[in-house]
Amino acid sequence: MDSKLIPEVVLNSGHKMPMIGFGTVSVPLPPHHELIPTFINAIKIGYRHFDTAAYYGSEEPLDQAIDQALEQGLIKNRSEIFITTKLWCTEAHPGLVLPALKNSLKRLGLEYVDLYLIHHPVRLRQGVKGTNYNHGDILPFDMKGTWEDMENCANLDLAKSIGLSNFGVKKISEILKYASIPPALVQLESNPSLELNLIHKLALPPLHARFI
């Protein structure tokens, strides 16, 4: 796959995004010594867009893979790679967004990310792990204040573009009412397993089912 042949789309920020990306989520997450060569091989065959997240645990090995790709001459500079990462639910609250992004940037070894997304329209109590939550773990979600902090990340040039993940139409419409920077995109999960669950009307994971 020639990276030059991958189609691009221009986001509302004016920045171009490769329309084919390499996802970095896996459960369980493989050890770093397996992930790093996987990411390097993806770069070798032409991938230039990598999708990661604070929750995935794949930011650090992606950083190491990019460093090695630069050393090997697979890419000439950082700007050749488009990086998407995401704000996890425990930090989805005013005052926590910017520090969360800075922590992601530190793990990624970057000065900025190309796209920063709110992972879910949910706020969880800090310290909560995993995907099974008690009633007390789910806190009120200040969507307006959280989006304002996302806009601040963009204004500080720490995120070239900002957007949403797993948001439904109602919440997207609410954000558009007060956003000074509209979301660049909305990322939604689509895979055969998820679609099969929908067809059979099985319960979706809590974050999908209860908050969209």
Per-residue pLDDT, 197 = 47
Radius of gyration of the CA atoms of the chain, in A: 17
103: nearest Cα among 30, 37, 45, 53: 53
Residue 113, SS3 per DSSP: strand
Residues 118 and 44: their CA atoms lie apart, in Å, by 30
pLDDT value at position 169? 93
Q: What is the pLDDT of residue 129?
A: 83
Q: In sequence order, what are the beta bridge partners of 66?
A: none
Range of the domain at 34: 3-211
Total domains in the fold of the chain: 1
pLDDT at 9 over 80: yes
Backbone angles phi, psi at 96, to 5 degrees: -105, -15
Better-predicted residue by pLDDT, 4 or 11? 11
pLDDT for residue 105 is more than 90: yes
Reported as a single tens digit per residue, the pLDDT across 179-188 is 999 999 999 8
Beta bridge partners of residue 126, listed in sequence order = none
Domain of 101, CATH number, reads 3.20.20.100
Distances (CA, A) of 181 to 42, 58, 63, 159, 176: 32, 28, 28, 12, 9
Residue type, 101: L
**Which one from 55, 56, 112, 133 is the annotated catalytic residue?**
56
* Active site annotation includes 178: no
pLDDT on residue 199: 39
In this predicted model, what pLDDT tens digit does every residue of 85-102 receive, in sequence order? 999 999 999 999 999 999
Q: What are phi and psi of 161, to 5 degrees?
A: -140, 155
pLDDT, position 107? 98
